[in-house]
Chain A
Amino acid sequence: MSDIVNEKQHSALFDAISGFWTEFKQNRGALYGLIFISILAIVAIFAPILAPYSPTEQYRDFLKLPPIWIEGGSWDYIFGTDALGRDQLSRMIHGSRYSFYIGFIVIFFCLTIGIVLGLVAAFTKGFIDNIIMRAMDIILAFPALLMALALVAILGPSLENAMIAIAVTYIPHFVRLTRAQALSELGKDYVSSSKTMGASKARLMFINVLPNCMAPLIVQATMSFSSAILDAAALGFLGMGAQPPTPEWGTMLADSRQYILSDPWLMTIPGLFILLTVLSINLIGDGMRDGLDPKMKSNK
């Protein structure tokens, strides 16, 4: 008997995952995005092994060496070297770690704080709800990047502070989404039923309602992951994010700004990788939305 139960259970879970996967892989873009991000993730994990040189060591004999596909390039420095003679490839490889670091930390803060505030707002209604939501409205009333800049100016320029600033500007979206989703779930009778059992507020929030709000939140988190990388790069470019010699992609862009006319590849390579990473994650987000939330699927 128990064998049958286990087998059934396994197949139900398997069905859910395989259903998601069938939906997901129909979206070609999402599939390519996933492949690119997977490769990038592997590179990030094994960065110290894969990188041929240290990202901060300066090879003074080879300043601004062009990459291999441009005349004068050398196999020793495939992506060339920057103005201080640091190996671009090694810096790019180590930089990918920072991109994931930024993405994950920002999303972690946004999700935890956003979900808690959103659920509290949805469950209390009235006064506390008003306070939370108006505070979020105020944050949203500022242009996001400007707000982040102001926050970094107060906290002091560093990668960590830039991440905090970015997270703050993103939290309102998560709060709103959680609240809206929770409110619609709260109207359903399964919640009423738990109430009649005497379930506590915390139990209603986290065990009953939250799992039903996750699908759009996961999609939002994926999309924010890429925006976080982009915004961190923008802050880095403006000198308010990661500080040299950190090989963060946005900071690398900023460092090479003055060589945009003489040695354009210095900016092109980090710029291109930021573009590809953000694009891939957005495509994955699209695919996940189709797979997770059939209601939001665009008509085809």
Chain B
Amino acid sequence: MKKFLATLLAMTMTLSLAACGGGNDAPAEDNTGDSAEGGEVVSVEGKTVAFIPKLTGNAFFEVANEGAQEYAADWGITVEYMGNAVAGVAEQVAVVNQAVASGVDAICISTVDAAGVADALQAAMEAGIAVCTWDSDANVEDRALMVSQGTPEVLGQMLVDLSVEGLKARGVDPDNDAVNYAWHYSQATVTDQNSWQVEGEKIIKEKYPNWVNVQPDNYYSEQDAEKSITVGEAVLSAHPDIDLIICNDSTALPGQLQAAENKGLTKDDVTITGFATPNAVKQYCTNGTIHNWGLWDCKIQGAMGCYVAAYLAAGNTVKVGDVISIPGLGDCEVMANDCLAAGVSTADTNNGVVLLPERAVFNAENMDNYNF
């Protein structure tokens, strides 16, 4: 066996030595080659962007990818969707390293954990790759631009607004009536959903002290469709007087709605709302189980993220206040990082935030206008 190991080692070493002599840093070359001088916009054509979701197989990210791919064809860029079916930091770092290794020009990532991917993203930037984020941000120093759907505060507020509207629609007075509510989403370790919940909870405590949270530590269904129904049914049975369930997870919302349907409840009995793609919930809305739900146009967000990443990779530089015009999507302004979180600094060039045009609230009237 020792002999085999020795042979193996020898083989590896010779091979790698040979490779060392031949190869060169391809991505580094790319970036230094064509720096934009004097405001000329360099075409993004031919650039390759690694589009990295938190996890694959989740409707939200799949739809974003769909959007990115659609627009990428028009822009002449290649979008490579790279991800792991598990939303873990270690898994995502492996994917980032993979992207760097395969020599992409830019990375557009929705991070699982900002601190966890920091080193990997720094290494990517050192290799001359343009790093942008979308949906879920990295530390500001580890990326250039962020295509944001809004801060946790904004999204927490949106969840509360959706709830209030749904309650009003069935004759509950959110300001005075005692409203029993609960949150139902994936799990306690997921970053974004928990940050929305924390912000939403803050707003409720402040503005609606008459609301009662029946389970302050929330209900979790771990993105398991079957569990989301089991938990959903249990929540409805254990709290027959519940008025509102907020499901800020794209598996939990349809699961909770299905549970309500199984128990014969409609939007007039209990208000269920949250974030999910329109297609996943349309049917429940037609059935009269849900009044409204929301999301932002993740298709456009995905596409925008890939475009700005490719835009920077092509050698364009941007400053706060600059406008990037995206063919087919319109213009967007680069804003300072502190528009997301107060007190965060912004580097002189190639650093900032691009806000997504709008968030959408879906209901029976408008849901057929969306197809994702």
- Indicate whether A and B interact: no
Partner-B contacts on A (CB < 8 A): none
Partner-A contacts on B (CB < 8 A): none
